Amino acid sequence: MSFQSYNPTTGELIGTYEEHSDSEVERLLQQSHDTWKSWSKTPITERSAFLIRLADLLESRAEEYGALIVSEMGKPLAEAIGEVKKSAFGARHFASDGPAYIADEAIPGTPGKIIYQSIGPIFGVMPWNLPFWQVLRFFIPAALVGNTVIVKHAESVQGSAAAIEKLILDAGAPAGLYTNLVIDRRRAPKVISDPRIAAVTVTGSTQAGRSVAEQAGALGKKAVLELGGSDPFIVFADADFDKAVQMAVVSRYSNNAQSCIAAKRLFVEESIAERFTAAFVEAVKKIPIGDPMKSETKLGPLARKDIRDTVHRQVTDAVGAGARVLAGGKPIEGPGNFYEATVLAGLPHDAAVAREEFFGPVAMLFTFKNEEEAIALANDTEYGLGATVWSGNPERAERVAASIEAGAVFINDFVRSDPRAPFGGVKGSGFGRELGGLGARELTNAKLVWKGA
């Protein structure tokens, strides 16, 4: 079997990739396990030096990799290059600060300490929407702590998958530190069940993540899940109005509006709702849509035709449930998987489609009367990844942030991941953390060492 990669801007076939055979999978799993035995004993100074070399290569190849990302998933070139550079920043951060994250930790008042040790090969199931960052944000801390990594990347971004594997080898990694496993998703359960696999991490849909977690749990293996999201973006009347509008557009439509942590449900206090809606819709209508290789483009095509079809089905369902289309609302004719930047208002909160995740350029506008209602509406979802609170009252902003059921809440800013801070969700958005100190320690054995008299 083979995978095909199509350019979402033109629809042209750009690559065909053959699956690994069962014998190749067996060889690669054994290689990863053998490499772990030696890599885990490699001094952390050498592992950090490897991350510096990785960062150097990412920066020097940022434009090359950026163009590759655009060709496979369609985001604007500037954002694709930014994704590569963010990965480089992550590598530099963990090279410098990572050793402190996993340093031995004394337990005050006792003769005990905690040491953080690697656990073995980690199997990662990765998505297409951030084909470099999603993989490297998991790989970098895993490699620093002494684990090896095996990745089943999304079928549609196999060019990026192969490029990442070569990048890591070019940075001086031993064969088996990073393995690109070219397999269909239906073969993933066999890899998960392999005794050489120590843990599993998934970034993807809630359904897929739960399936993996169920299997991993039955085997006694740890799982880290970063799944879907329907982030609330709450705007109080005392917020910085212009900045809130601007950041709402950025948060919803960046990365071609294909991000788990986008602002998908906008809740605006009633007293400013009419003004906010007018300003937001006007800004959305001005978003330049087109060829993502052109510098002026801010919204490119959706990654695949089936994704565009799903988005349009959801918009149609929303209109059927009572929503008004204030902007966009339909596919763009011609080559590629383009869809208009869309704004919906008036959708009943209890409509089935209002509870779905829109993984495309659709924003849903709602209003609220007071703080209590804003919190209740924001939490009325199965998801709990990120959230944003906009208010000029610091005490209220902190109070609302503490009440939101999410893995991260940003105040007067839009949600995004940062290598220095833990990232992950609750409820249907998963569990476990990546990045920061918590992420560095997530896939380790936190071993207690107790010294007797």
Element (H, E) at 448: strand 445-450
Question: Tokens for 294?
Answer: 């052109």
Of residues 188, 179, 194, the one with CA closest to residue 211 = 188
Tokens 């509006």 sit on residue? 257
DSSP sequence for 97-161: HHHHHTS-EE-TTSSEEEEEE--SEEEEE--SSSTTHHHHHHHHHHHHHT-EEEEE--GGGHHHH
Q: Write the DSSP symbol of residue 440.
A: H
Q: Half-sphere exposure of 349 toward its Cβ, with a 13 Å CA cutoff? A: 14
Q: Half-sphere exposure of 251 toward its Cβ, with a 13 Å CA cutoff? A: 31
> Are residues 89 and 54 in contact, defined by beta-carbon separation less than 8 angstroms?
no
Three-state DSSP class for residue 408 = strand
Q: Write the DSSP symbol of residue 419.
A: T
Of residues 149, 116, 131, the one with CA closest to residue 224 = 149
Of residues 424, 347, 428, 334, the one with CA closest to residue 381 = 428
> Are residues 29 and 187 in contact, defined by beta-carbon separation less than 8 angstroms?
no
DSSP sequence for 338-405: -B--EEEE---TTSGGGGS---SSEEEEEEESSHHHHHHHHH-SS--SEEEEE-S-HHHHHHHHHHS-
Report how far residue 73's alpha carbon sits from residue 223's, in angstroms, rounded to the nearest whole number.
27
> Are residues 268 and 369 in contact, defined by beta-carbon separation less than 8 angstroms?
no
Which positions are annotated as active-site residues?
Answer: 226, 260
Report how far residue 52's alpha carbon sits from residue 97's, in angstroms, rounded to the nearest whole number.
12
Element (H, E) at 201: strand 199-203
> Are residues 449 and 117 in contact, defined by beta-carbon separation less than 8 angstroms?
no
Element (H, E) at 16: strand 13-18
